[in-house]
Every structure is written in structure tokens, then in C-alpha cells.
Copies of this chain bind each other. A is one copy, B any other.
């Protein structure tokens, strides 16, 4: 077999490869600009292809491309949230937050536009994609805490904390990424423990859980 040509421009891409390439180009544009400021021409130019080719792959135009890029970003974010079930739970949470904040940092403008809402490309479908990530984040946390049947107070606490983390990342971007990511990460872990502690005083399941987490951290 002869080696693949080294100049990408001359290589013929498979349908799958071409689709992935267009998505990559769209994703990096949507990550750094508000959707209103990304045109199909921009995507075509960034991918080094013609506008009709973009339409051939995404006949629904910008809306379809945006949703596909969002789905792909959601997949990437979900991947960030994956963490082995090993070691002290709070260190795992800290590592996940490190990766989450790096993701937020890289996708700043798109992330902000998406979560701020009111964008022309926002639909019940895009909202559902974002909600899916929030749901997996909650499941991840409960999984790490080895809770299989979370009661309403525990679930509400975890979901509230996740929303607070989202709010924190938007504010963090607004404030020129202050405080530094490591400080924000530690602060968010402390807030998690604080709100779980408050719920523990009202909910036996959360109380038992907190005893386990603290024993792990101290042991």
C-alpha cells in the first residue's frame, strides 16, 4: 500500500471524514462566536470547501449544522465528565471540574451564547441536548456517591449545585476568568460539601452518604 498523500487538500475524504471535518470547522466557529455571527460561508471557508458542499452534507443549513455541532460538543463534554470510580470522591469531583472548566474556557463564546438563551438557533431540540448533559452530570455524581435510588432532597441538591456551577462558569468567563480555575474548582467542591451538609440535616439518605464521603476523605 502506498502512503496517503501528505497534503490534506488533495486527499479525497470519505463521506464520514468529510462530515467530521465540516463539523469540526462548525464547532470551532460556534465555540468562539455567537451563532448569529456564523454563516455557512464561514464554515465552508474554515473547512476549505465550497458552500454547496456544506449544503450537500447539511441540507438544513445553519440550524442543522448548529444542532450537529452542539450534539458533538455535548458528547465531548459528557466525555469530560467521565471519571474512574477510584480514589477519594472529592478528588474525583475536583478532576472532573478541572476538565469542565477547561472545556468552558475553550468553548467560551459558544458556551455563553448557548446557556444565556434567546439565540435564534435555540429550539426545544437544543434545550433538550443541554438538559441531557445536565442529567448525565447528575447521574455521574450520584454514581460516584454509589447512590442507586436517590430521594427527592438529594436529587434536588445535586441538580441545584450543577446549575450553580453553570452559573459560576458564565460569571467566571464574564469576569475575565477570575478567580483562577484552580481556586474556582476548590471553591465549587467546598460549596458542594456545604450544600450537601445542609441537606444532610434534613434527609437521612444524604446524611449517611456524607458520613461515607467524609470517612473516605479522612481515612
Which residues does A use to contact B, with CB under 8 Å?
Answer: 116-119, 122-128, 152-153, 155-156, 159-164, 166-168, 171-172, 175, 178-179, 183, 187, 190-191, 194-195, 197-199, 201-202
Contact = CB atoms under 8 A, between A and B. Distances in A.
A152 B178 contact: yes
Given A118-B122, A195-B194, A163 B166 contact: yes
Contacts of A179: 152-153
Q: Which of A126, A163, A166, A183 has the most CB of B within 10 A?
A: A163
Contacts of A201: 190
Contacts of A159: 167, 171
A175 B202 contact: no
Q: Which of A128, A152, A155, A183 has the most CB of B within 10 A?
A: A152
Nearest to A127: B118
A63 B126 CA distance: 21
